[in-house]
């Protein structure tokens, strides 16, 4: 992963991977300092992310940031 990026709403996010397994075990984390919330996701074994809270409950700009970082 690279450095920390920011969404239009002001949430910060970053990505990373397990050394020697990038693309197989990638992680994503976002922090919304305004709403005091955090969002986590890890690439799942079945193609769906293991996420907390569920991605369907994420704000649109954070979901877009996640999708963009995963190449979706």
Of the candidates 8, 4, 5, the one whose C-alpha atom is nearest the C-alpha of residue 61 is 8
**Report field, pTM of the whole predicted structure over 0.85:** no
- Answer yes or no: is pLDDT of 24 > 80: no
**Residue that has been written with the tokens 């190449």 in this structure:** 71
Residue 21, CB-side half-sphere exposure with 13 Å CA sphere:
8
User: 41 — phi, psi (to 5°)?
Assistant: -150, 150
Of the candidates 21, 33, 48, 35, the one whose C-alpha atom is nearest the C-alpha of residue 66 is 48
**23-32, 35-44, 61-70: segment of lowest average pLDDT:** 23-32
For residues 16-36, give the mean pLDDT. 85
């Amino acid at each position: 992963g690279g450095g920390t990026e920011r969404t239009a709403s002001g949430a910060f996010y970053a990505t990373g991977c397990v050394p020697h397994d990038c693309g197989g075990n990638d992680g994503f984390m976002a922090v919304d300092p305004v709403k005091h919330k955090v969002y986590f996701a890890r690439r799942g074994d079945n193609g769906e992310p293991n996420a907390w809270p569920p991605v369907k409950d994420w704000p649109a700009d954070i979901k877009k940031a996640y999708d963009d970082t995963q190449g979706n």
